[in-house]
Structure 1
Amino acid sequence: MFSFKSFVFAALLSSCEASVRARKLSNELIAGFEPRTVVTDH
């Protein structure tokens, strides 16, 4: 049988992966648009 707990766990796992991918993508876009400011800030 398909349990509800496994469904919730799979949903949470997929949402976490999606958020991590979105964060990496946004960081890459920011680094691509503003390479000098990122380097000088850090």
Structure 2
Amino acid sequence: MQLRSMFTGYNYINFKMLVSISGFISGQMIQLLYEKII
């Protein structure tokens, strides 16, 4: 049970990192598009 909770915690951290990285990339893309429009 201890190992399983550690594994789910690790997956949760990886998921949060993926979400923040994808959010950052999409933010950069939106900024580039916004600059091209203006």
- Provide the TM-score with structure 1 as the length reference: 0.71
- Provide the TM-score with structure 2 as the length reference: 0.78
After the TM superposition, which parts of structure 1 deviate over 3 Å for at least 4 consecutive aligned residues?
none
Q: In structure 2, which of residues 11, 30, 35 is the aligned counterpart of residue 25 of structure 1?
A: 30
Aligned residues: 33
Note the residue ranges of structure 2 that are not aligned, 5 or more in a row. Answer: none
Question: What do the CA deviations read for 1:1-42 (whole angstroms, capped 9, x no partner)?
Answer: 551100000000010000000000000000110xxxxxxxxx
- Once the two structures are aligned, what percentage of the paired residues are identical? 6
**Aligned-residue CA RMSD (Å):** 1.2
**Does 1 or 2 have the higher relative contact order (CA < 8 Å, sep 6+)?**
1
